[in-house]
Amino acid sequence: MKTDHKSSEAEVETESESYPVEPRYHPIHKIPRKIYIFFASAKLAMALLIVILCCCLFGVTVWRGVDAGRVIFSTLWFNGLLVLLVINVVCCFFGRIWGRRVTVISFGMILFHISFVLMFLGIVYNSLFYFRGNIRLTEGESLVSGNPKSYDSYEYGRFFSFSRLKGETSLIRMHSDYKVDNDDKRAAYEIEVGEQGNKKKGVVYITHKLSQHGVDYFNDREGHSLLVILGDKAGNELYGGFIPLQSVQQSDKSFIYVSGYKDGAKIVASPSNFPPEPEQPRIALQVSFSQSKLDERSGDVEFRVYRLPDNNKQHIEKPIFVAQKTLNEIVVFDEFQLAAREVRYWVGMSVRHEPGKLIVLTSMWAGLAGMIITTFGRAYRKGVRR
């Protein structure tokens, strides 16, 4: 019996000594631990970096511009990959340094990794809420900023709302040969943006933008617009509107300005319905303007009138009427009259809303500071050891 008692005591001691150092987890506690191990995996980090890099390469080579944003950079799945990479960095780095003593070197590394996380979050935020558009205005014209029809072209993030663009955008006047401290800025645009009671006016030129409530306005391009009046034979005005013109350089280095569109670097002179939709078109009209050497806002105008195309087909090549007049001279043909009353400038501006840009730029500077702190910390430690 004595032997049996000693034997049972030894068994108890053995069980006590073999008790695991790690606590016994309830099965439900193993789930978050497995999730953490998955997100902290170095293999996951490598896989994410490879996939994201391949997507970026395709975005700048195969799909470009608006297509790249639509197919890759503005999609939820791509931004989900970036968020997953951020979570992976947080779990990998901060999980390893948690509870350790903070030194100069570790502080620099912490600052660098925090900036890395914030930079990617800023990229995700920007790609989902950004807006980039081009708006074209003639002097004295105002367009509703939040109306997509006000823009020649635009692209935006998945969660952007046009209600973010408040009020109107107005071009008051274009200033040629604009100078700032005797520095010639060539052309400057005096614009006004915002809603009633909260408008902001400023001058935009090549090195200066106008910002209002997180929306930036940059100069892009400019040209001439002709105010063309269409009337009947009795002289009653039927419609009047500005027709934007594109500049075409001649062999003698002078310029003429024609109605049409720009196809890459090529100017395509073409007629368009006049009046434009939603008005009822009466004719198809192409105009060209030759600027006077004495006054940039005067010169000769050539009218080319075409018949309206049938069933949305292209305009016929041969005009039915051609005439050249100076400003304010009246042209009579069939049952209509035409006259060009004045010439103004039109301006194309780039409108951008990039809410994550400041976060990204600040994070990059913070990351650089973290690298510098870590580098000096390591150099100082090596000097002390010597």
**Residues 201 and 137 reside in one and the same domain:** yes
Strand-pair partners of 151: 135
Boundaries of domain holding 185: 131-221+349-357
144 domain residue, yes or no: yes
| CA distance linking residue 368 with residue 116, whole number of Å | 10
For residues 160 and 170, membership in a common domain is answered with: yes
Do 65 and 138 lie in a common domain? no
Q: What is the pTM of this model?
A: 0.72
Same domain, residue pair 209 and 237: no
pLDDT at 22: 44
Q: Are residues 163 and 209 in the same domain?
A: yes
Residue 102 has what pLDDT?
A: 82
Same domain, residue pair 205 and 227: no
C-alpha distances in angstroms, 112 versus 7, 53, 105, 120? Answer: 60, 21, 11, 13
Chain-centre distance for alpha carbon 244: 24
In a domain, 370, yes or no: no
Q: Does residue 326 sit within a domain?
A: yes
Domain assignment present for 75: yes
**Residue 311 placed within a domain:** yes
Please check whether residue 7 lies inside any domain of the structure.
no
Q: Are residues 259 and 337 in the same domain?
A: yes
Q: Which of 96, 116, 147 is the last residue of a domain?
A: 96
Dihedral sign, Cα of residue 268, residue 306, residue 135, residue 65:
negative
In a shared domain, residues 143 and 184? yes
Residue pLDDT tens, the chain, 386 long: 445 555 544 444 444 444 344 444 445 567 777 888 888 888 888 898 899 888 888 877 777 665 677 777 778 888 888 889 888 888 887 777 777 788 888 888 889 888 988 998 998 899 889 999 999 998 888 999 999 999 988 988 888 999 999 999 999 998 888 888 888 888 899 999 998 888 999 999 988 999 998 999 998 888 888 999 999 988 899 999 988 888 887 777 777 888 887 666 677 778 888 998 888 888 899 999 988 888 878 889 999 998 887 665 555 568 888 999 998 899 998 889 999 999 888 888 999 999 999 999 999 999 999 999 999 988 888 777 76
Kindly report the length of the chain.
386
Examine the fold and report which residue of 96, 115, 141 is the final residue of a domain before the chain moves on.
96
Q: Is residue 87 domain-shared with residue 135, that is, in the same domain?
A: no
Q: Which residue has the tokens 């790690």?
A: 22
Residues 180 and 316 in one domain: no
Instruction: Give domain status of residue 5, yes or no.
Output: no
Work out whether the CA dihedral 155, 156, 162, 168 comes out positive or negative: negative
Give the pLDDT confidence score for residue 64 in this predicted structure.
65
Q: How many domains does one find in the chain?
A: 3
Does residue 208 belong to any structural domain of this protein?
yes
Residues 70 and 41 in one domain: yes
215 with 256, same domain: the answer is: no
E-strand ranges in 182-236 read: 183-184, 187-195, 198-204, 210-212, 215-232
